[in-house]
Amino acid sequence: MAKQQPTGADDLRGLIRDLGKLPDAVRKELRPALRRAGTRARTRAQGNASWSRRIPRAIRLQVSFAKRRPGVALSVNKNLAPHARPLENLGKPGSFRHPMFGDRKRWVTQRARPFFFPAAAAEWQQIDRDVAAAVDAAARRHGFR
């Protein structure tokens, strides 16, 4: 079985494991680079959801240096766009059912409009390469090999 290549998140996780808490200088250098890496996916997801007034504004990009889940994460604020999750339908085309205006006696079928998963899938590999490059560059500048 072939050994899997380490991902950008694996590189970041390794750097955090080696250093414990990342020094402020390294965080300050990495945060903008990681944010840039995820911006294309956020922009694509917002473009995919351009049919909605609320969903594009609700899409957020988060950068984390936590030990368990370091890296870049996209999320949709459920308070700003409560309809986003059912319309996403886990990234699958098709339809879903819901009560019409909350009336549980009248149900309607609505077509799903995936916007989030297709954007993430299209940009995933490039984001991973960008994160790995940012981690390598920051580590080298701060004395690691």
pTM: 0.75
3-state secondary structure of 59: strand
Q: Report which of 132, 137, 126 is spatially closest to residue 38, judged by C-alpha positions.
A: 126
How far, in Å, CA of 120 to CA of 45, rounded?
A: 8
φ/ψ (deg, to 5) at 104: -70, -5
Residue 18 or residue 71, greater confidence: 71
Give the 3-state secondary structure percentages of the chain, helix then strand then coil, rounded to 5: 50, 20, 30
Tokens 């080298």, located at residue: 140
Residue 25 or residue 1, greater confidence: 25
